[in-house]
Amino acid sequence: MAFVITHPCVGEKSGDCVDVCPVDCIEEGEDQYYIDPEICIDCGACVTVCPVDAIVDETEMAPEDDKYLAKAKEFYGIS
Ligand code: SF4
């Protein structure tokens, strides 16, 4: 399980999440930031600092946000 950065980040990219992640698993992509699902420890620290509420628990994601988990996996080369 992991947290996933979804659609509000696209075009926003505040990057506040990067500074609070204790395991340094958030990286900047071309149009949004991404959480490495294999490193995230589910602490939730990034969720509270995101100004656009873009970060959600993988298990509570809306079906239409599934593509953002797939996008993160693709970004990190996870199959
Ligand atoms: Fe990093 Fe915690 Fe957010 Fe996972 S939930 S990306 S470990 S700050």
More confident residue, 11 or 33: 33
Pocket probe mutation, ligand 1, options 6, 26, 36, 49, max atoms within 8 Å of Cβ: 26
Domain 3-75 CATH assignment equals 3.30.70.20: yes
> Domain coordinates of the chain in residue numbers?
3-75
Which pLDDT tens digit goes with each residue over 35-46? Answer: 999 999 999 999
Whether 59 and 53 have beta carbons less than 8 Å apart is answered as no
Atom 1 of ligand 1, nearest CA residue: 21
Q: Provide mean pLDDT across the span 34-59.
A: 97
> Apex CA 36: angle with CA 33 and CA 40, to 5°?
115
Does ligand 1 have an atom closer than 6 angstroms to the CB of 46? yes
Query: pLDDT-derived band of residue 29, with 50, 70 and 90 as boundaries?
Result: very high
Using alpha carbons only, give the angle 35, 49, 79 rounded to the nearest 5 degrees. 10
Instruction: Over range 24-29, report the average pLDDT.
Output: 98
Mutate to test the pocket of ligand 1, among 27, 40, 49 (most ligand atoms within 8 A of CB): 40
